[in-house]
Chain A
C-alpha cells in the first residue's frame, strides 16, 4: 500500500523515484485491463474530470479522455478554440467557472510554461499537466520511460539520447528528469542553436553528431521540429536539418548494435525520421501510444485516491 508524494502532477521534477515506480506498477495492471474484452473498471465512477486544452492536441487529448473513460469517470472537454478565452476571460476565471460545476480533477494543456503549477496553487481540484508550453509534459515522459522498461526490462543504467529541438521541447525536459531519476544516462543531440546553453548543468551529455550519439545509446528518442514555436530560423532549411539529424534506415543498420527508436508524435516523416525507420521493428512508437493510456489511467487513479470525500 502506498501513495504518491504529490497532490498534483505538474511536472516530473516534483516526483520521487518511488512515485514513478508506483505509477509504473499501477500502469502494469491497467495495461492488462485495457487488453481485456471489456476494457473498463468502475474505480472512478463518482469522479468528474475536465480536460482543458488551451493548445492543440490530438493524441494526448484522446489518450487522456480514453484513460478517464476506462476508469469510469465522467468527462467534460473544453478547447480554447471554441471557448470564452477568446472573449478575454482569465485562466483562473475560466477554471473556477468549470469547478463551480463540481469538477474533481483538471487535465490541462496550456501554451504558458508554469500554467499547471500556477493553477494547482489556486484551485481545490487535482491538476494534471498535459503539457505547459516549453516546460514539462510529465505523462509523456512517464510513458516513454515505461516503454523503455517494457522493452529492455529496466531503465536503470540504460543510455538514452534525445535528438532534435531540445530548446522548445517540454518532452525533452520531462524525459531528462524522469530518466535520470530512474538511473539512466541521458544525452541530447541536435543543432547548436536548438540545444539550451546551460543544459549540461542538468547532468546530460551534449553531442552534435547524430552518428556518434546513436553509437553511444541504447534508445534514441527522436523529437519533432516544432516550427510553430520557432519565431526565428534556427537552421537554414528542413532539408539540411534532415540530412544532419534525420534518422534513416541506412544509419540504423550501420550501427554496431540494435537500438530502440522512440518518437512522441506527431511524426514528420522524412524530416526527423524516415518512414522505413518509423515502421521498423526497432520502433516502439505505437507501443508508446498504447502505454500512454495505461500510464494516464495510473496517474489519474493514484491522484483520485487522494481526493477528499
Chain B
C-alpha cells in the first residue's frame, strides 16, 4: 500500500480555518443556522468547526449528529449489517439553514441518505453541504458540495483517510494506493 499525504497538519488547520470563514461569509452570525455532522466520521469535522467558529464569533453554534444507517440504499446488499451510531439532534430544524457535514464526499450515496434522514426532523429552509475532501469525478449521484476543503482526483481502488489529533494522534489526510495499481 502506497501512502501519500494530501494535507499535512499545517494545511489541515489552514483548510479548516478557511472553511470557517466561508461559512461565516454565507451565514454571518449563525442565528438561523445549524451544523449537522454525518456519523461516524463527519462529527469530527463538526467538533473542530464548532470550536473554531465559536472562537471567532464568540457565541454558541448549534450542532448535531445524524446517523444514516437506516436510510442507506445498500441494506441487504452488504455481507454484514452495520451497527448504527447515535443520532443527536435535540433542536428543531424546521425553517433552519442546515449545513450537512462529512469528511469525504465520494459516491454521494451517504449524502443522499443523509438528506432523507434529515427530513424526519422537519422541513429545513435550506440545506448545504460541506466536505473536507471531495473525491470528484467519482459520483454515483448528482450531488455537489457548497464548501470543499480540498478536491482531489482519485482512482476507485484508492482510499482516503482523514486522521484526527484526538483519535489517530495527528491531523492529516492520507491517500492510500494499492501497490499493483495499473
Interface residues of chain A, those whose CB is within 8 Å of chain B, are 1-3, 22, 25-26, 28-29, 32-33, 36-38, 40-44, 46, 71, 301-302, 304-305, 307, 309
* Bound-complex Cα distance A28 to B69 (A): 13
Partner of B70, one of A2, A42, A309: A42
Give CA–CA (A43, B78) in the complex, Å: 13
On whether A33 and B122 interact (CB within 8 A), knowing A1-B80, A2-B80, A305-B76, the answer reads no
Q: Is the pair B77, A309 in contact by a Cβ cutoff of 8 Å?
A: yes
Pairwise interchain contact A25-B81, C-beta atoms closer than 8 A: no
The closest CB in chain A to the CB of B94 belongs to A37
Alpha-carbon separation in the docked complex, A182 to B67 (Å):
27
Contacts of A2 in B (CB 8 A): 80-81, 83
Chain A nearest Cβ from B38, distance in angstroms: 15
Q: B83-125: which residues lie under 8 A (CB-CB) from chain A?
A: 83-87, 116-117, 119-122
Q: From residue B34, how far is it (CB to closest CB) to chain A in Å?
A: 15
Contact B76 A307 (CB under 8 A): yes
Contacts A29-B67, A307-B76 hold; do A42 and B81 have CB atoms under 8 A apart? no
* Contacting pair B122 A29 (CB below 8 A): no
Beyond the given pairs A29-B67, A305-B75, 5 more chain A to chain B contacts, judged by CB atoms under 8 angstroms and listed by A's residue number, are A29-B85, A29-B86, A33-B87, A41-B117, A42-B71
B75 contacts across to A, CB distance below 8 A: 43-44, 304-305
Which residues of A lie under 8 Å from residue B77 when comparing CB positions?
A: 309
Q: Does chain A have a CB within 8 A of B82?
A: yes
How far, in Å, is A304 (CB) from chain B's closest CB? 7
User: Are B70 and A41 in contact (CB-based, < 8 A)?
Assistant: yes
A29 and B69 form a contact (CB under 8 A): yes
Which of B69, B81, B120, B121 contacts A3, CB < 8 Å? B81
Query: Which 7 pairs from chain A and chain B are nearest by CB?
Result: A41-B70, A305-B81, A29-B84, A38-B120, A1-B80, A43-B70, A3-B80
Q: Quick one: given A36-B121, A40-B120, A43-B70, are A304 and B76 in contact (CB under 8 Å)? A: yes
Chain B contacts of A37 at CB under 8 A?
Answer: 120-122
The chain A residue with its CB closest to the CB of B80 is A1
Given the complex, which residues of B lie within 8 Å of A302, measured CB to CB?
A: 81
Chain B interface mostly: loop
A67 CB to closest chain B CB (Å) equals 13
Chain A residues positioned under 8 Å from B69 (CB to CB): 29
**Complex interface: chain A residues within 8 A of B120 (CB):** 33, 36-38, 40-41
B78 CB, min distance to chain A CBs, angstroms: 8
Residue of A at shortest CB range from B67?
A: A29
Minimum CB–CB distance for A182 against chain B, Å: 18
List of A residues within 8 angstroms of B122 by Cβ: 37
**Number of contact residues on B: which range applies?**
20 to 34
State in angstroms the CA–CA spacing of A39 and B17 once bound together. 37
Residue picked from B77, B78, B81, B117, most chain A C-beta under 10 Å: B81
A38–B81 CB distance below 8 A:
no
Q: How far is the CB of B75 from chain A (nearest CB, A)?
A: 5
Contact assessment for A33 and B86 in the assembled complex, using a CB-CB cutoff below 8 Å: no
Q: Which of B76, B80, B85, B116 contacts A309 (CB 8 A)?
A: B76
Q: How far is the CA of A26 from the CA of B84 in the complex (A)?
A: 7
In the assembled complex, how far is the CB of residue A306 from the closest CB belonging to chain B, in whole angstroms? Answer: 8
Which partner residue on chain A sits nearest B119 by CB separation?
A38
The CA of A40 and the CA of B121, in the complex, are separated in Å by 11
- Assuming A38-B120, A305-B76, is B87 touching A32 (CB within 8 A)? yes
> What is the bound-complex CA distance between A24 and B87, given in angstroms?
16
Q: Quick check: B76 and A41 within 8 Å, CB to CB?
A: no
CA of A305 to CA of B84 in the docked complex: distance in angstroms? 13
Question: Would you mind naming 30 contact pairs between A and B with Cβ atoms under 8 Å apart?
Answer: A1-B80, A1-B81, A1-B82, A3-B80, A22-B83, A25-B83, A29-B69, A29-B70, A29-B84, A29-B85, A29-B86, A29-B87, A32-B86, A32-B87, A33-B87, A33-B120, A37-B120, A38-B120, A41-B117, A42-B70, A42-B71, A43-B72, A43-B75, A44-B75, A46-B76, A301-B81, A304-B75, A304-B76, A305-B75, A305-B76
With the chains together, A176 CA to B60 CA distance in Å? 49
Bound-state Cα–Cα, A42 to B77, Å: 15
Give Cα A209 to B52, complex, Å: 63
CA distance A246 to B35 in the complex (A): 53
> Assuming A29-B69, A41-B71, A304-B76, is B83 touching A1 (CB within 8 A)?
yes
Contacts of A44 on B, CB cut-off 8 Å? 75
Measured in the bound complex, the distance between the Cα atoms of B84 and A41 in whole Å is 13
Q: Which residues of A contact B72 (CB under 8 A)?
A: 43
Task: Count chain A CB atoms within 10 A of each CB in B76, B83, B117 and give the residue with the most.
Answer: B76
